[in-house]
Structure formats: structure tokens, C-alpha cells
């Protein structure tokens, strides 16, 4: 029986478990990446493990999220990260060099390798044929130390691309179409593998747009074959020697199959406030637009920005629209500068931002009250832009540029012939902003905002907990632990950042949790979707949250809860969620034995005769982590 490309790469890296078993597997990690907002914790954790140098083939520390430096905090974090990288044997991509996923694709990604990154959009690397997975910082720290990465044996979904994309329809529309069909929880527990004749026509940057936003499906990873397009991209990056040819066997077997006829696609947008609320842009042509933001790890490649420059050339941005552009990397920015396209953008009235995440994570450029913002990004969660009542639409660069000109949501097919942008034969290569691994004796520089990591208590045998908060479906880690220019600088300071847990949903939550001493949270499906930030587990743990009971969980967040000693439970009967109210008092007894036993167990509710049956689905490895009070304790105990 033939193998999928996913299984080929997993097989070559498997250190425990069996593919197709439906159980947990462990894989060896070749490369890691971190970014500054999750990296400080990851390196504090790596330091706490006491391993002198990383054991991976390559590890890179990027600075791209917190670059506003509105106070000393971000700058101190950068200094810490630079010193930790030198000491532990890690490449350091300096602030200004670009967004981690874009730069990693350009300079480091290798087909057939595994990449683990402390950022949920790490699967971008699937565009170059890597098996690239997002995880919490602690899992990345373990991988840097040579430890395996554990994940539930994924289902493999084949997405067959048939035909060719019509003019003006882009890679973004392919992934938006998939989000429309499968929704934000459609990919949980799955790896998406792209096949079919339509693949050959997509360049690596287009493929990376698609694999990037596979994160919004909840997918573990997304992967394209490594073929002539991959070789052309690597050659143009001066890295032809990194190429290997990779694809699925012709008779490969998949768990599920989806077919997309590319010629039937039209330009699409995702409406506020979820990436799966997808409709044709032509249906929304009367929506006035106040802001257009082009950039992010989804759509900020040379090709994307050249398309935008070609659309804007010789024209002026509508007077009611603020157009901001953040090129994905210094490579992209300097190429636009030297071929004149940057002047076309500026002449049209674009505001140029640093090559960083910027507005995508609410670091500046918040829209005005109630404004409509069209963004080429990947997430439009409510309030993420920094303006609570802003309405963010996600779209490809062509729709964004067209809408910037007209002042309303615009189908780019109304603009006449589509510009054709060829991939350059050679990209501009200058790695001077990447500092190679240096002296292991480098002292770590630690500013006053960098506080020690709080450690979870070992799991108690009996827990009596109030329900502190009851939540609906699809709660994001942005809901749990918001970002933005005020909160993001506190990522290295858990006591300070914990004051913002559930800030937008219930600003009293931290006070309530502290008054109760400890408590639990209950929720609907897909709890913890979105960002990989482990702060969404660490900070609630610090506030005393011991259990989260949900109808289902997103993969990365569930792993983070376990890593930081919070017990994730699901209902045996989903409808039992109805029986829990905020303020209800629940009791769990015999918990230490219950987590080691695979079966369901009872949770009693004060004032209700019948208990609620719950389950944990923990592996033995995970149960032991919880018993120890988190992965750091468990690792220390085992040494």
C-alpha cells in the first residue's frame, strides 16, 4: 500500500508509537523556530532544563512580534533573546529582518525536514515540503534539548487541486474556500496534504499562503510536495543543494479527500469575526472600507507585494482609506526598493511599516471606531486589531489593493487585465541580520521585566472548585490571553500579564480567581483555537485555574494546558454543559488514580443529585506530567 508524503516524513522521524494507530506518536525534530513573544518563555524553560547547547540540526530565534518598544520591556526581551541565542547555539534573526515564517521559508526551510515552532503559523514551512508544526514554547524547548515531540497520530486529508486558477483569483482564495467548507475546527487532529495537477502551477510563496492558513482550520500541519517549483525557489534563494524531490506514492491512501476545482473559484473574503465566515467579495461590493492592511506571514512575499504595486502603480489610494503595508522580510523590502516598486506603493499613498507582524497582532495601526479594515492576514478575531468594534475582513492582496483604490470592498476582476509577476531568478541574499550561533560563555542579559517562570502545583487528589467562567464554542487563545501593544510587552512577566486573563470577556476574572483561590473554566467546542501562546495556560494556572472542562479542545492549547498542570476534561455527554452555571461548586475526588485510568469518572455538582461523567483521554505520558504539576517538574523529576 502506497504512502502519503505526510506518512513518509513522519515515518522517517518516528521515535515512538505507530502511524495509523490513532494513538500518540513521538517524532524527532530537525529544526526549531521561536519568535520573541513566545521565545522568552521558551528560552527560560530551556535554561531551566540545564542543557548547555541545542541538539537540533538548526534552531533560529526571531524577533518580529514585539518591535514597537513603547517602553524598555521589548528592548530588554530582545537583548535577552540575543544573549540566549549566542549562549545556547541558536541563530538570531535581529528585529527588522522580517517575520519568522517568511524568513524561515526564504533562508532555512528544507524539504523533508521536521520543524517545530513556538508559533501557530509554523506550518507555513509546509509550502516548501517540510513537516512544520506549531507548539507551545515548552514543547519547543524540549525539542531543542533533543527530546521528541509528541502529537496525536494525525488523520491525513488529501486536498486534490484540479485545474488552474482564473485571473485575479489567488492562493488566498484556495485556503479561504477550504475554510468555508471545513470551518475553523475542520482540521483538528489532521494533516492536510495537497496533491493533484493544480499543485504544479503554484509557486512556493503561494503554497506557503495556503499552508500558513491551514492553522485556521485547526490542522496540525499542511504539506505540499517538493517538486520543480520548490527547486526553482531554493535555487533563487541560492540554496539548490537543500532540495530533494518528495511526493506521495501514486497509490497513497488517505483518511479523507477533498477536491477543489480551481477554475471554479472566485475572489473570496472572510467576514468578521472568524476566518471561516467566507463569501464571494462580489456579494459585499457596497461595504465601505476605512483601512487596508497588507502584510503578515500569510501574504507578504515578494510576489504578493509586486502584485499590489502593479495594481496601485500610477493611481491614488481613496481619500477615506488608510493603506498600511508591512513587507514580510528585509529581502522582500530591499527588492521592492531596488526595482522601484516601493516608490509605486509610496506614490499611491501607502504608509510603509517595518517588516514585522505589526497590525496583525494589534501592535499599532488599530482601526478607528467601528471601522471596516480589509487585511491580507490570517485571523480576524473580535478585538484582535486593538479596536473592539472594528470589523476586519480577510482577503488576498488583490482584493486589498483594489479596495484601497475604490474605498469599498472590490472584486479585483473589475480592474481589467491581471498583472503577471514572475518569481525572480535570484532573490537578493543578505544574511547579515542573522547572527550565527556564538560563544557558549555569553552571559544572559535579563531586564527587570523578565520574571522567573511560575511552577504549577502537583495535581491534588481532591479538588473542590467553583466554575469561574462559562464560555461558548471556538474560544480563542486571544480571548483567554489577549495580545496588543499594551499587553504583549508583558509576555516575560507572568504575574503582570495574568491581570489580563479573559480581559475582553470578563475583566473581573483575575480578581474572582484570586478570591476563590482556585477554580475551573467550562466551555463548548474547539476551546483554545488560534495562537500557540502558552501564556493562555500559564497565566490562568498562575491565577489558580486547575481544570478546564470543554466539549472539545484545539490541539496546541490542550497540550499547553497539560504542560502547565491544568487538567483538560471533556464531557461524556456533550449536553451536560447545560447543567453547569457560573458559580456552581464542583468536586472531583480520587483524581490521581482517575487520570491514570483511561475510563470516564464522575464530577459532582453541589445541589445536583446526579454527577456529570467526564473523561480525560490522556496518554500515560501526559497523565504523569499532570501528576507532577507540569512538564518542567516532570522533566526535572526524571533527571
Binding residues vs ligand SF4 (CB under 6 A): 65, 99, 119, 121, 296-297, 357, 360-361, 377-378
Binder of ligand MIC out of 119, 139, 177, 242 (CB under 6 A) = 119
Q: Shortest approach of ligand MIC to residue 638 CB, angstroms?
A: 28
The smaller minimum CB distance to ligand MIC, of residues 322 and 531, is found at 531
Q: Segment contacting ligand MIC (CB under 6 A): 117-125, 337-345, 393-401, 500-508?
A: 117-125
Closest distance of CB 479 from ligand MIC, Å: 12
DSSP string, 465-511: EEEEEE--SS-BHHHHS--STTTGGGTT-HHHHGGGTTTTT-TTHHH
Burial profile 551-587: b = 16 or more Cβ within 10 angstroms, e = fewer? bbbbbbbbbbbbbbbbbbbbbeeeebbeebeeebebe
Peptide bond into 273 cis (omega under 30): yes
Among 169, 361, 409, 421, binds ligand MIC (CB under 6 A): 361
> Which among ligand SF4, ligand MIC, none contacts residue 99 (Cβ within 5 to 8 A by kind)?
ligand SF4
If one asks whether residue 329 binds ligand MIC (CB under 6 A), the answer comes out as no
* Cβ 280 to ligand MIC shortest distance, Å: 26
121 contacts ligand MIC (rule: CB under 6 A):
yes
Nearer to ligand MIC among residue 37 and residue 562 (C-beta): 37
> Could you give the CA distance from residue 46 to residue 592 in angstroms, rounded to a whole number?
28
Name the strand (E) or helix (H) holding 258. strand 256-261
The alpha carbon dihedral of 27, 29, 33, 34 has a sign of: positive
- The entry of ligand SF4, ligand MIC, none near residue 391 (CB within 5 to 8 angstroms by kind) is none
**Inter-residue contact 149 to 131 (CB < 8 Å):** no
Residue 38 or 474 with smaller CB distance to ligand SF4: 38
176 is in the binding site of which of ligand SF4, ligand MIC, none (Cβ under 5 to 8 A by kind)?
A: none
- 296's contact among ligand MIC, ligand SF4, none, with CB below 5 to 8 A by partner kind, is ligand SF4
Q: If binding is defined by CB under 6 A, does position 184 make contact with ligand MIC?
A: no
Instruction: Select from ligand MIC, ligand SF4, none the partner in contact with residue 533, using the beta carbon and a kind-dependent cut-off of 5 to 8 Å.
Output: ligand MIC
From residue 509 to residue 548, the character string flagging contacts with ligand MIC as x (rule: CB under 6 A) and all else as - is ---------------------xxxx---------------
The CB-of-530 to ligand SF4 minimum distance in angstroms stands at 9
E strands, 17-122, in order: 24-27, 31-35, 58-62, 91-93, 114-117
Q: How far apart are CA 100 and CA 121, in angstroms?
A: 9
By CB under 6 A, tell whether 402 contacts ligand MIC.
no
In this structure, the number of other CB atoms found within 10 A of the CB of residue 495 comes to 13
Q: Judging by beta carbons within 10 Å of its beta carbon (0-12, 13-18, 19+), is residue 134 exposed, middle or buried? A: buried
| 121 vs 555 by CB, closer to ligand MIC | 121
Asked if residue 38 binds ligand MIC (CB under 6 A), the reply is yes
- Picking from 158, 148, 122, the residue whose alpha carbon sits closest to that of residue 5 is 158
Taking the CA atoms of 186, 188, 193 and 194 in sequence, report the sign of the dihedral they define: positive
Q: Nearest Cα to 434, choosing from 354, 338, 329?
A: 329
- The CA distance from 407 to 286, in Å, is 10
124 binds ligand MIC (CB under 6 A): no
Point out which residues bind ligand MIC (CB under 6 A). Answer: 37-38, 65, 119-121, 361, 483, 530-533
Amino acid at each position: 500500500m502506497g504512502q502519503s508524503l505526510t506518512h513518509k516524513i513522519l515515518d522517517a522521524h518516528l521515535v515512538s508509537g505507530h502511524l495509523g494507530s490513532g494513538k500518540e506518536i513521538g517524532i524527532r525534530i530537525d529544526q526549531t523556530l521561536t519568535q520573541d513573544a513566545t521565545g522568552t518563555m521558551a528560552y527560560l524553560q530551556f535554561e531551566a532544563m540545564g542543557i548547555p547547547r541545542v541538539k537540533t540540526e538548526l534552531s533560529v530565534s526571531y524577533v518580529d512580534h514585539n518591535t514597537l518598544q513603547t517602553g524598555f520591556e521589548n528592548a530588554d526581551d530582545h537583548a535577552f533573546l540575543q544573549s540566549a541565542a549566542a549562549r545556547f547555539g541558536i541563530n538570531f534573526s535581529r528585529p527588522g529582518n522580517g517575520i519568522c515564517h517568511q524568513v524561515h521559508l526564504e533562508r532555512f526551510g528544507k524539504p523533508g525536514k521536521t520543524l517545530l515552532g513556538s508559533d501557530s503559523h509554523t506550518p507555513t514551512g509546509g509550502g516548501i515540503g517540510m513537516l512544520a508544526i506549531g507548539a507551545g514554547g515548552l514543547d519547543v524547548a524540549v525539542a531543542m534539548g533533543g527530546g521528541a515531540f509528541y502529537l496525536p497520530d494525525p488523520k491525513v486529508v488529501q486536498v486534490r487541486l484540479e485545474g488552474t486558477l482564473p485571473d485575479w483569483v489567488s492562493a488566498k482564495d484556495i485556503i479561504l474556500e477550504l475554510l468555508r467548507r471545513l470551518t475553523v475546527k475542520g482540521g483538528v487532529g489532521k494533516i492536510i496534504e495537497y496533491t493533484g495537477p493544480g499543485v504544479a502551477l503554484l509557486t512556493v510563496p503561494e503554497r506557503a499562503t495556503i499552508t500558513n492558513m491551514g492553522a485556521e482550520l485547526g490542522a496540525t500541519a499542511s504539506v505540499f510536495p517538493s517538486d520543480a517549483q520548490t527547486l526553482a525557489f531554493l535555487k533563487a534563494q541560492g540554496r539548490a543543494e537543500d532540495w530533494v524531490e518528495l511526493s506521495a506514492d501514486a497509490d497513497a491512501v488517505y483518511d479523507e479527500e477533498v477536491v477543489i476545482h480551481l477554475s471554479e473559484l472566485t475572489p473570496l473574503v472572510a467576514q468578521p469575526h472568524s476566518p471561516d465566515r467566507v463569501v464571494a467579495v462580489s456579494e459585499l461590493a457596497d461595504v465601505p472600507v476605512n483601512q487596508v492592511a497588507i502584510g503578515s506571514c500569510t501574504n507578504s512575499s515578494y510576489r504578493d507585494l509586486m502584485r499590489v504595486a502593479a495594481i496601485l502603480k500610477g493611481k491614488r489610494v481613496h481619500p477615506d482609506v488608510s493603506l498600511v503595508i508591512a513587507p514580510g522580510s528585509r529581502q522582500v523590502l530591499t527588492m521592492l526598493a531596488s526595482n522601484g516598486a516601493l516608490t509605486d506603493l509610496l506614490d499611491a499613498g501607502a504608509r510603509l511599516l517595518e517588516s514585522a507582524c505589526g497590525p496583525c497582532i494589534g501592535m499599532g495601526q488599530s482601526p478607528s471606531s467601528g471601522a471596516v479594515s480589509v487585511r491580507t492576514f490570517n485571523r480576524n478575531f473580535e478585538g484582535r486589531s486593538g479596536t473592539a468594534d472594528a470589523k476586519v475582513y480577510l482577503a488576498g492582496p488583490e482584493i486589498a489593493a483594489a479596495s484601497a483604490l475604490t474605498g469599498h470592498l472590490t472584486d479585483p476582476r473589475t480592474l481589467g487585465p491581471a498583472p503577471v509577476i514572475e518569481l525572480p531568478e535570484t532573490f537578493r541574499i543578505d544574511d547579515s541580520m542573522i547572527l550565527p550561533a556564538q560563544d557558549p560563555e555569553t552571559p544572559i542579559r535579563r531586564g527587570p521585566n523578565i520574571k522567573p517562570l511560575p511552577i504549577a502545583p502537583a495535581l491534588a487528589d481532591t479538588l473542590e472548585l467553583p466554575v469561574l467562567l462559562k464560555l461558548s464554542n471556538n474560544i480563542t487563545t486571544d480571548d483567554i490571553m489577549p495580545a496588543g501593544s499594551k499587553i504583549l510587552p508583558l509576555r516575560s512577566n507572568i504575574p503582570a500579564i495574568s491581570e489580563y486573563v479573559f480581559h475582553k470577556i470578563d475583566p473581573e476574572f483575575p480578581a474572582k480567581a484570586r478570591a476563590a483561590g482556585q477554580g475551573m473554566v467550562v466551555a463548548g467546542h474547539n476551546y483554545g483555537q488560534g495562537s500557540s501562546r502558552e501564556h493562555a495556560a500559564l497565566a490562568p494556572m498562575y491565577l489558580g485555574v486547575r481544570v478546564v472542562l470543554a466539549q472539545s479542545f484545539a490541539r496546541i492549547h490542550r497540550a499547553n494546558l497539560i504542560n502547565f498542570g491544568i487538567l483538560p476534561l471533556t464531557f461524556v455527554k456533550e449536553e451536560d454543559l447545560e447543567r453547569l452555571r457560573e458559580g456552581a461548586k464542583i468536586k472531583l475526588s480520587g483524581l490521581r488514580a482517575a487520570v491514570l485510568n483511561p475510563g470516564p469518572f464522575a464530577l459532582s455538582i453541589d445541589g445536583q443529585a446526579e454527577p456529570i461523567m467526564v473523561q480525560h483521554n490522556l496518554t500515560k505520558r501526559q497523565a504523569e506530567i499532570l501528576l507532577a504539576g507540569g512538564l518542567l517538574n516532570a522533566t526535572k523529576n526524571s533527571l
